[in-house]
């Protein structure tokens, strides 16, 4: 059973947590200092870049995740000493014009750069039935070629490897 108890000091944004793991565990007192890192946006034609300044952090102390609701979650935790840690947590909604599968992060010299490429706009000719038919035709030809290749490999395998009775 895990139990968290928090004591807040509002002016400093500091709280203690007593964590108990199992019946024989000793409580661990950790003092967390929460802060809001400096962040700024750079908007370019093909991408948006979120820059977050987190000095003294290492790459391993940072997490960047995307959840199913298209929400970017950024967090970090830095040990200050044996009982104190500094941490932050930031949530950023991903805009609809961003390709969430192509988001990447890079950490360099105390700055976390999160690049969010914009989706390519669909041109008018790609919406036409003729374009879709051409694309479908290319897919069918590719699948037929793949099926012929598999049949050839099976044929060669059977002709080279003798049957075991």
CA gap 138, 60 in Å, rounded: 44
Cross-strand partners of 110: none
Confidence of residue 122 (pLDDT cuts 50, 70, 90): low
Confidence of residue 18 (pLDDT cuts 50, 70, 90): very low
Domain spans of the chain, in order of start: 1-34, 38-121, 124-160
Q: Which residue has the higher pLDDT, 16 or 68?
A: 68
What pLDDT is recorded for position 161? 77
**Is domain 38-121 classified as CATH 2.60.40.790?**
yes
Confidence of residue 157 (pLDDT cuts 50, 70, 90): confident
pLDDT 10s digits, 48-82: 999 999 999 999 999 999 988 889 999 999 998 88
């Amino acid at each position: 059973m895990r139990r968290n108890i928090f004591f807040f000091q509002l002016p400093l944004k500091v709280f203690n947590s007593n964590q108990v793991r199992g019946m024989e565990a000793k409580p661990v007192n950790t003092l967390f200092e929460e802060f809001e890192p400096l962040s700024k946006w750079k908007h370019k034609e093909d991408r948006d870049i979120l820059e977050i300044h987190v000095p003294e952090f290492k790459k391993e102390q940072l997490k960047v995740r995307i959840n199913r609701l298209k929400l970017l979650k950024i967090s970090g935790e830095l040990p200050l000493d044996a009982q104190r840690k500094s941490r932050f947590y930031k949530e950023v909604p991903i805009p609809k014009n961003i390709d969430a599968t192509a988001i990447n992060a890079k950490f360099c010299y105390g700055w976390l750069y999160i690049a969010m490429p914009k989706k390519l706009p669909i041109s008018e000719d790609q919406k036409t039935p003729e374009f879709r038919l051409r694309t479908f035709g290319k897919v069918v030809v590719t699948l037929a070629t793949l099926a012929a290749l598999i049949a050839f490999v099976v044929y060669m395998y059977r002709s080279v490897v003798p049957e075991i009775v």
